[in-house]
């Protein structure tokens, strides 16, 4: 039985991470589109990795339970990476909350029950979660600790009627939930952290940079301290450190990797965005 790396969401960022941590391991690729997972598997297999694929809707608890069973049938789960999700321009409020808030919380909880000793998890969140002002402590506690089936029924979540707010609350929830789950994963000798990327060049981001909202993105990049977008490999390098033996003292933490975009949003040239966010 091999050690298993699980990747949920077979896009560019997920691939960059899983390639760095999966030499000699069997990779389970889960994606809403199994066709997408199979394309990724072919790319990885041509680079020397062994893969299996499975269709998985992150917002569906039954799909997640099937994924956990599928992965554990092949060996010990050493790594779990969630790079799946939907964005404010892709889906309505209910879908964003179902996938990004509820589904991601279920995924962390269920894999936390099966992780191998010495294992590690990474949740890809977003800089968007850092654009919410500080929440009341009772809201933080509710997002972090509520039973997963109650998350969608929280009064302040039910009041959300804007896709950007739904996304921001979902990503804030991811970060809080990682802190909560780190305490549970520790009982199995495993760590879990989140990474909050800013503008990273992926096929979807490239579409945005050449689409009707291109100017907003270009202006945002110009107002960031880094003055450029990031690459999936830069996120992969950070994740590799967190998931390696060098990162064992780090758990329950969130890491912004956004070229200083959030700093500029609150205190620099991008403060004008607060009026629209």
Tens of pLDDT, residues 215-269: 888 999 999 999 999 999 999 999 999 999 999 999 999 999 999 999 999 999 9
Q: Give the model's pLDDT for residue 128.
A: 94
Assess whether pLDDT exceeds 70 at residue 60: yes
Q: Tell me the two tokens of residue 3.
A: 């050690």
Phi, psi of 102 (to 5 degrees): -70, -55
Q: Give the model's pLDDT for residue 156.
A: 98
The alpha carbon torsion through 34, 111, 60, 91 (nearest 10 deg) reads -80
Cα 34 to Cα 70: distance, rounded to the nearest angstrom: 14
Distances 73 to 2, 44, 67, 154 between C-alpha atoms, Å? 10, 21, 10, 35
Asked if 169 and 105 touch (Cβ cutoff 8 Å), the reply is: no
Domains parsed from the chain with CATH numbers:
2-275 (3.40.50.720)
How much is the average pLDDT of 184-208?
A: 92
Cα 125 to Cα 129: distance, rounded to the nearest angstrom: 8
Cβ atoms within 10 Å, residue 167: 27
How much is the average pLDDT of 159-175?
A: 96
Structure confidence by residue, pLDDT tens digits, 76-108: 999 999 999 998 877 899 999 999 999 999 999
Assess whether pLDDT exceeds 70 at residue 277: no
> Known catalytic residues?
167, 171
Q: Give the model's pLDDT for residue 211.
A: 77
User: Could you give the percent of the chain with pLDDT greater than 70?
Assistant: 100
How much is the average pLDDT of 150-161?
A: 97
The alpha carbon torsion through 237, 240, 241, 243 (nearest 10 deg) reads 160
How much is the average pLDDT of 28-54?
A: 97
Q: Give the model's pLDDT for residue 209.
A: 81
Q: How confident is the model at residue 42 (pLDDT cuts 50, 70, 90)?
A: very high
**What's the pTM value of the predicted model, to 2 decimals?**
0.96
């Amino acid at each position: 039985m091999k050690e298993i790396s699980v990747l949920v969401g077979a896009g560019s960022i997920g691939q960059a991470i899983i390639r760095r941590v999966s030499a000699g391991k069997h990779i389970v690729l889960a994606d809403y589109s199994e066709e997408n997972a199979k394309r990724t598997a072919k790319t990885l297999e041509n680079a020397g990795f062994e893969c299996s694929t499975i269709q998985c809707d992150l917002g569906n608890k039954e799909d997640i339970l099937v994924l956990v069973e599928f992965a554990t049938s092949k060996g010990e789960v050493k790594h779990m990476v969630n790079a799946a999700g939907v964005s404010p321009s892709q889906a309505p409020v209910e879908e964003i909350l179902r996938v990004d808030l509820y589904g991601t919380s279920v995924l962390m909880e269920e894999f936390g029950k099966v992780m191998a000793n010495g294992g590690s998890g990474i949740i890809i969140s977003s800089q968007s979660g850092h654009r919410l002002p500080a929440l009341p402590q009772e809201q933080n506690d509710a997002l972090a600790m509520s039973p997963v089936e109650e998350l969608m029924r929280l009064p302040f979540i039910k009041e959300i009627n804007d896709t950007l707010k739904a996304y921001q609350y979902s990503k804030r929830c991811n970060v809080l939930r990682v802190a909560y789950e780190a305490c549970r994963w520790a009982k199995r000798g495993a760590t879990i952290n989140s990474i909050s990327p800013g503008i990273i060049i992926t096929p979807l981001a490239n579409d945005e940079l050449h689409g009707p909202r291109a100017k907003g993105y270009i202006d945002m990049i110009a107002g960031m301290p880094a003055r450029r977008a990031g690459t999936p490999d830069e996120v992969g390098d950070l994740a590799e450190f967190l998931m390696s033996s060098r990162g064992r003292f780090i758990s329950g933490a969130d890491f912004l990797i956004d070229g200083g975009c959030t700093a500029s949003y609150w205190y620099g040239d991008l403060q004008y965005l607060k009026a629209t966010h």
